[in-house]
Amino acid sequence: MTRPDPMQVRSRNRRMLLVLFLFFFGSVLLAGLLRFSGWRPEGSKNKGEMLSPYGDMRGHAPQLRDGGAYRWKDSPRTWRIAVMPRECDRARAQACTRLLGDLDKVWQLMGKDADRVHVLWIGALPPGATVPSELRVLQPDEALRAGLPRARAAAGENPDGDAAWLVDPYGFTVLRYAPGFDPGDLRTDLARLLKIN
């Protein structure tokens, strides 16, 4: 049996070390490039717009329509879907009623997690609308508007629709859905958030 040539062994070991080095640092470099280019896997993207900075409503207790205060910390681990329609008079009653129905469907599709979701309607309800049991109607005020980023801008985006926001269990507004949003997008994001929180 012949002994291997020490030069060949060293050369082979160097090549293996170089391959391992390239494999390890090449994958780190590729991950860094993807991360800083903004690419994310399709399944991890939010459907709504991630807000930066978040809206902060922790220090504000809005008033419920039927009296009393709505406090963010009274229901721990509860996510909120908040909507503040511009008007729900006779001219927009149909759009508001459709929005109420869409929110009710989203809430029902949460299944066993539905009890961890509150639907907040800020402002007047459409005339003659059937109010879903999960709906909490709040009186609009400036502190609520301030906690819902770009609430005033919503009117210029889509004249036929209203925006929606997702508020986390602590009172931070984290996601915004532009007027005319797809309720399925809201449901997808909410289902993902309920799983991790």
pLDDT value, residue 155: 47
**CB-based contacts of 171, cutoff 8 Å, min separation 6:** 56, 57, 58, 60, 72, 73, 147
Nearest C-alpha neighbor of 125 from the set 109, 141, 138: 138
Residues 47-85: pLDDT tens digits? 888 888 889 998 888 999 888 999 887 777 899 999 998
pTM higher than the cut 0.95: no
Name the residue with higher pLDDT: 33 or 117.
117
Residues 88-113: pLDDT tens digits? 888 888 888 999 999 999 999 999 99
Cα separation of 131 and 189, whole Å? 24
At residue 13, φ and ψ (nearest 5 deg) are -65, -40
Task: Give 136's strand partners.
Answer: 120
Residues 180-194: pLDDT tens digits? 899 999 999 999 988
In contact, 122 and 154? CB cutoff 8 Å: no
Pairing mode, if any, of strands 164-167 and 172-177?
antiparallel
Do you find a cis peptide bond into 53, omega within 30 degrees of 0?
A: yes
Cα separation of 146 and 56, whole Å? 8
